[in-house]
Amino acid sequence: MAKTALCIGINNYPGTDLDLGGCVNDAHDWAALLGGRGFKVTSLLDAAATKAAMAEGMRRLIGGAAKGDLVVITFSGHGTFVPDTSGDEPDRQDEGLCPYDIQAGGGALIDDEIHQLFAARKPGVKLVLISDSCHSGTVTRTLGSEQPADLPRRRFMPYANWAAQGRATAPATPATPATPATPAAPAAPAAAGVAKAAKVIARGRPPFKPALAAHEGDLLLSGCEEGPNRFSYDTRFKGRPNGAFTYYALKTLSEVEAANPQATYADWHKAIAKALPTASLPQRPQIVGTDAAKNARIFA
């Protein structure tokens, strides 16, 4: 069985006033862990993590995997949503991951595009997806540049913060597989770093969720539950920036496996859920997958 991984971490979001601090560290931490477990790891950090590069990285890993292989993809950065144009979303919003060039022309990598990239895989390829980003179903006023650097920041980027007036954000994914066009931006964007007035919509879900295939045993671990006002947080631990979910996931993994070398993803999630939420980090980590996937041995 071949084991490959793609670790993405983006702190720098030019033109949005919503830079983060811990995402590159997250990616380094996941890469070190997975590399130590026999994974061949590719990393995309900051300016290297364009929409095109993210899509190509996923396509290459998924397309190169054979039956029985394990592919792990981690993403640390902002989540967002865009208006749904395909009519497949009850809340009329597509959730997405925010690449480095989200405002410069790439746009978000939306759930429909991720689904198409993953649908090209061969039967029997196992996926584990780890998302330390927000998938909130609410446009909120983000904390932005006014927030002190040592306090937690939400990893959520409202549409108004990155969509430029009159600019269509066409996808930058490779021609194969084909990807749907991202909708045009609204006519009157908010000022840089400031979201529009709060507007509640029906829900939010992890952008990776549509890519899951239950019959293949896929698993998703994400930093927060789906639904309105759900956020993952960017913060510091002992002075070092990290995502709260990534920090506690890695901390508890060593503890869980020390207690039981055959520990499962369900055991791991249970341990993370004992660490989060806290008073200053009100997020509840989520695990999505079949019972068989949840009860599989971690990264095996």
Q: Which residues are catalytic?
A: 78, 134
Distances in whole angstroms, Cα of residue 44 to Cα of each of 60, 122, 142, 222: 13, 24, 25, 19
- Cα dihedral across residues 281, 127, 215, 114: positive or negative: positive
Name which of 18, 27, 17, 123 is nearest 72 in CA terms: 27
Buried b (16+ CB within 10 A) or exposed e, 172-185: bbeeebebbebbeb
DSSP state of 233: E
Q: Which residue bears the tokens 């994914």? A: 173
Distances in whole angstroms, Cα of residue 3 to Cα of each of 26, 70, 97: 20, 5, 24
